[in-house]
Copies of this chain bind each other. A is one copy, B any other.
Amino acid sequence: MQPLAGAGSERPATLADVAAATGLATSTVSRALSNPGRVNALTRERIELAARELNYIPNAQARALTSGRTRAIAVLVSDVTNPFYFGIIRGTQQQLKAAGYTQILVDTEESDELEDGMLHKLRRSFDGAILAASRLTDRRLTALAAEVPLVAINRQTRGVPSVFIDTPNGIEQAMGHLVSLGHTDIAYVSGPETSWPNEGRWRAMVKAAQRYDIEVRRLGPFAPRQYAGAAAADAILHAGVTACVAFNDLLAIGMLARFRERGVDVPGDVSIVGCDDIFGADFCNPPLTTLTAPIEQAGRTAVSMLLTHLDGARVGVRQTATLPTHLTVRDSTGPAPSSPPQKGRA
A143 close to B5 (CB less than 8 A): yes
A125 close to B61 (CB less than 8 A): yes
Not counting A72-B104, A89-B105, a sample of 13 additional A-B residue pairs whose C-beta atoms are within 8 angstroms of each other reads A1-B140, A2-B116, A5-B146, A12-B124, A57-B123, A83-B86, A86-B86, A103-B104, A104-B105, A280-B280, A283-B284, A283-B285, A284-B285
Shortest distance between the CB of A315 and any CB in chain B (Å)? 23
B1 close to A116 (CB less than 8 A): yes
Instruction: List the B side residues contacting A283 at CB < 8 Å.
Output: 253, 256-257, 280, 284-285
The complex places the Cα of A117 from the Cα of B125 at a distance, in Å, of 22
Q: Mark A56-81, 1 if CB is under 8 A from B, else 0.
A: 01011110110000101000000011
> Top 6 closest A-B pairs, CB basis?
A285-B285, A105-B105, A61-B64, A280-B280, A2-B120, A61-B65
Instruction: List the B side residues contacting A90 at CB < 8 Å.
Output: 80-81, 107
Task: Answer whether residue A87 sits at the interface, using C-beta atoms and an 8 A cutoff.
Answer: yes
Task: Answer whether residue A321 sits at the interface, using C-beta atoms and an 8 A cutoff.
Answer: no
Chain A interfacial residues counted at CB < 8 A: 53
Nearest residue (CB) in B for A105 is B105
Nearest residue (CB) in B for A65 is B61
Q: Tell me the A104-134 residues at the B interface (CB within 8 Å).
A: 104-107, 112-113, 116-117, 120-125
Q: Mark A1-33, 1 if CB is under 8 A from B, else 0.
A: 110110000001000000000000000000000
B104 close to A122 (CB less than 8 A): no
Instruction: List the B side residues contacting A253 at CB < 8 Å.
Output: 283
The complex places the Cα of A87 from the Cα of B107 at a distance, in Å, of 13
The complex places the Cα of A284 from the Cα of B282 at a distance, in Å, of 9
